[in-house]
Structure 1
Amino acid sequence: MPNNEPMSREIESTGSEASESSKYRVLFDMLADAVFIHEPDGNFLEVNEEACQRLGYSRSELLQMGPVDIDAPEFSVMVEDRVAELKRSGEVFFETVHVAKDGTRIPTELSSKIIEYMDQPAVLSIARDISERRKAQRQREQKQRELELYISLLRHDLSNDLQVISGSLEAIDMVATDLGEVPSRMLESAEMAARRMAALLTAFSSPEESDEDRLLEIISAVVEHAEQVHENLSISIESDYAPESIRVFNSRLLPMVFENLLRNAAEFGGDSPEITFEIGRTKDKAIVVYRDNGPGIPDEIESDLFERGTSSTGGGLGLYLSRQIVVAQGGTIEHLRDQTGTVFRIELPISNQGPAWVHDVS
């Protein structure tokens, strides 16, 4: 009798290989990204189902084409250089635009790598459709342009209005006599508030000179201004550090965080609020602890203290905006429970390296 065992094993092996091939084909076609395998300087050798559906070609049509046939004209001229770079480095990552059969342009992120396919060198390219990403980017850019235009218009209008207000206040100050202590203080506060708004508008009109600021100098300037505007405030700054040793990333909005805390103290902290800023640092964080001797935060609003609209008297944007500014800096602000007064702890990323924190203000 003839021995059919070797033939049987060969048939079984062939069947097993076919099964494996079919399984990998299914996985290949299930990928969400388009996948192309092509000769380094020639046509596609294999494509998956997503590539066919995205470009609108059948598999047999794509296998008669190559990368230059699906790239937009302005990108197809770069194919030769990219293939040369791929041969040198073994892998490249770039953006291009594919053109579908119906002419649709598809922004694409392409990752290509040299592989061995059917015992021959080939290129495996994984193509991700980034149309939605590009659309979102265009929308962000449009919103940014609109925001810049709005800010420019707002700055112009506010500047004009502030000039009118400041001129009127100066005129009142010149012609009015014997106003009395309270009206005079009110007039002075209004003048200082107008100057503060003018300074804020000027800050946003001028280019930033540096990418970092000395935190002690920021707070000192805010305190100096607040003591002029709010005569009832008594403010001290405590720190074991020289100004240049605690630098934070430049932000034109950061002073508003400290201004808001001081305005709240002047308005709600009683007749003569006493305030302390304790300033220190760790290796990578600047720490500011604000303390006052006022009545503290009411229990009923503490849990929502940093939410929009939270206030015991209406309004309630100050601490909400303060938190947004601090978070935008990569920092945190929290209210600390205290037996007397109000305490806030602010942490900000530091922009310069320095010694370990030697003055614990926690």
Structure 2
Amino acid sequence: MQHPIQVPSVALDSNERNRPEEALRESEERFRTLVQFSFDVYWETDAQHRFIRQEFAETLAEPPVSEIGRTRWEVPYLEPDAEGWRKHREILDAHLPFRDFELARPTPDGGKRYVSVSGLPIFDDTGHFMGYRGVGRHITERKRAEQALIESEARFRTFVDHATDMFMLHSEDGRVLDVNRNACESLGYGRGELVGATASFFDLQMDQAAWRINRDRLKAGGIATLESRYCRKDGTVFPVEIRMREFCEGGRSQIICLSRDITERKRTAETLREMQAELTRANRAAAMGQVTASVTHELSQPITATLCNAEAALSWLETQPPDFEKARQALASIVAEANRGGEIIGWIRSLIKKTPAPKESVDINGAILDVITIARSELLKHDVSIQTDLAPGLPLVKGYRVQLQQVVLNLILNAIEAMNCLDVGGRELRISTAEDASGRVVVAVRDNGPGLDGALVDRLFEPFYTTKPDGTGMGLSICQSIIEAHGGRLWTRANEPRGAAFLFSLPSEQG
């Protein structure tokens, strides 16, 4: 009896034999895919470190030349140096794994092509060393980017170190992370002494509370600018202007501070302030020179009245019986006239002396009337009629009475001079006061002279600019600085129907 041929079992045996081959092919495909997308080259060497296999990724634009049969150091490389090769040979001879060993080969254009190589030693079942297997990656672009970053950082460090200001990088809590050379030279400390220190180490005004306040300003956005004082290592103190800005790096907030020594600026500002004060005093003296006749007249009146009242008092005392009541009245008049004369002299002394009296609450209407009294003879001399429109119940202003009177006196004298070209009898000066909608006190001095040249109006308040042949060009500039120092504003406009009007506004004491 014949048995049937078992074909299915033969097919099954064939499939069983094919499975390991397919699995091997699949494994090799997976391996090639891994190499293609993960590495640029796969390599193997024998026990003498000669290349016996190299497979390059198809994605390489210019695949390297095969090095089969040669060792890695037999190929011309620009990097590493001899010491780098010596250390690498020691690792290979010790049959140790290595990672990210960087090489550089020359390119036809004279540049470099960088490769990072990693490898694992291979041993047989008896532990005999067979060679290495490894991968390589082309890192030329990365190296170029790193070199560009290094060069950029070097350029930035050079720029920062040669800056004339002090650069400091702070952490959120105020500790110094980095400084430039100028900061070290200006403070007298080494970089190692400053890095890690808090701002209060050299900043006399930047304690932790002040640092937190400025941090809050920075978090609100923008740049924080402040003035402070730094203390050098030798103990000397100097003023600085600090500009701070916050930025985020690596998820952490940091603050960069640019500090500038403003010693010269402070000294120049103080000199300018002293010069301005001296010019202001000289301007007052010049104005007083123009109203000397008025001052003489005003002083002669109380002196004459005092003399007459003294003679009258003597007469009343010599009568029989003496008239003590009339003598008392005459003596009271003497006291009043003496007080009036003293007030005039005190005003003149305050106007000319270098330092003004302390700030006070000023009745602007009363101050204007005092100026008109002093300038009365100058007004009469030039045949100028004056009208006043002083608003009652004006709020008081806080300031220096003498300085505000100097402004009014300057404006009156300028108006008198501007009207000299008019016929006698047609010269009119009007001074008015009012309170505007914002509660500020407004003073206006108007004349009916020829008016102002519209092309020159913008230059009227410039120092040393004048339209007068013998003018200094400082009067209106000083007036403007006085008004601005009081928190006010001085401006000009055309008067109707003709002439010029100069106005200034001052904040009220309540405001």
TM-score, normalised to structure 2, is: 0.43
- Indicate the residue corresponding to 2:348 in structure 1: 200
The one of 149, 152, 161 aligned to 1:23: 152
- Indicate the residue corresponding to 2:207 in structure 1: 82
- Indicate the residue corresponding to 1:275 in structure 2: 429
Paired residues for 1:348-359 under 5 Å:
348-352=504-508
Kept in 2: contact 1:111–1:125 (CA 8 A) = yes
Query: CA distance change for structure 1 residues 236 and 78 in 2, over 3 Å: closer, same or farther?
Result: closer
- For 2:492, give the aligned amino acid: E
- Indicate the residue corresponding to 2:193 in structure 1: 65
Question: How far has the Cα of 1:42 moved from its partner?
Answer: 11
- Indicate the residue corresponding to 1:209 in structure 2: 360
Question: How far has the Cα of 1:245 moved from its partner?
Answer: 5.0
Which structure has more relative contact order (CA 8 Å, sep 6+)? It is: 1
What CA distance in whole angstroms lies between the structure 2 residues aligned with 1:254 and 1:323?
Answer: 14
Q: Does 1:344 align with 2:497?
A: no
Question: How far has the Cα of 1:345 moved from its partner?
Answer: 1.6
Kept in 2: contact 1:86–1:114 (CA 8 A) = no
Per-residue CA distance 1:243-270 (angstroms, 9 max, x = gap): 4158585452332344345456399365
- Indicate the residue corresponding to 1:97 in structure 2: 230
Give the count of matched residue pairs.
305
Question: How far has the Cα of 1:332 moved from its partner?
Answer: 3.1
- Indicate the residue corresponding to 1:242 in structure 2: 392
Question: How far has the Cα of 1:198 moved from its partner?
Answer: 5.2
Query: CA distance change for structure 1 residues 194 and 128 in 2, over 3 Å: closer, same or farther?
Result: same
Kept in 2: contact 1:36–1:124 (CA 8 A) = yes
What CA distance in whole angstroms lies between the structure 2 residues aligned with 1:91 and 1:298?
Answer: 50
Query: CA distance change for structure 1 residues 78 and 5 in 2, over 3 Å: closer, same or farther?
Result: same
What CA distance in whole angstroms lies between the structure 1 residues aligned with 2:371 and 2:445?
Answer: 15
What CA distance in whole angstroms lies between the structure 2 residues aligned with 1:233 and 1:193?
Answer: 26
Kept in 1: contact 2:379–2:416 (CA 8 A) = no
What CA distance in whole angstroms lies between the structure 1 residues aligned with 2:433 and 2:148?
Answer: 70
- For 2:365, give the aligned amino acid: L
Per-residue CA distance 1:125-151 (angstroms, 9 max, x = gap): 44333333344356457x479959x99
Kept in 2: contact 1:69–1:76 (CA 8 A) = yes
Q: Does 1:12 align with 2:141?
A: yes
- For 2:159, give the aligned amino acid: M
Question: How far has the Cα of 1:234 moved from its partner?
Answer: 3.3
- Tell me the percent identity: 15
The one of 46, 60, 69 aligned to 2:178: 46
Question: How far has the Cα of 1:199 moved from its partner?
Answer: 2.3
- Indicate the residue corresponding to 1:129 in structure 2: 261
Question: How far has the Cα of 1:351 moved from its partner?
Answer: 0.4
Query: CA distance change for structure 1 residues 193 and 109 in 2, over 3 Å: closer, same or farther?
Result: same
Question: How far has the Cα of 1:346 moved from its partner?
Answer: 1.9
The one of 219, 222, 238 aligned to 2:368: 219
Q: Does 1:334 align with 2:492?
A: yes
- For 1:82, give the aligned amino acid: D
Query: CA distance change for structure 1 residues 195 and 333 in 2, over 3 Å: closer, same or farther?
Result: farther
Gaps of 5+ in 1: 176-191, 355-362
Kept in 2: contact 1:246–1:350 (CA 8 A) = no
- Indicate the residue corresponding to 2:166 in structure 1: 34
Query: CA distance change for structure 1 residues 109 and 278 in 2, over 3 Å: closer, same or farther?
Result: closer
Gaps of 5+ in 2: 1-31, 42-135, 218-225, 290-294, 309-339
What CA distance in whole angstroms lies between the structure 2 residues aligned with 1:257 and 1:87?
Answer: 45
Question: How far has the Cα of 1:91 moved from its partner?
Answer: 6.9
What CA distance in whole angstroms lies between the structure 2 residues aligned with 1:119 and 1:298?
Answer: 62
What CA distance in whole angstroms lies between the structure 2 residues aligned with 1:114 and 1:308?
Answer: 45
- Indicate the residue corresponding to 2:446 in structure 1: 290
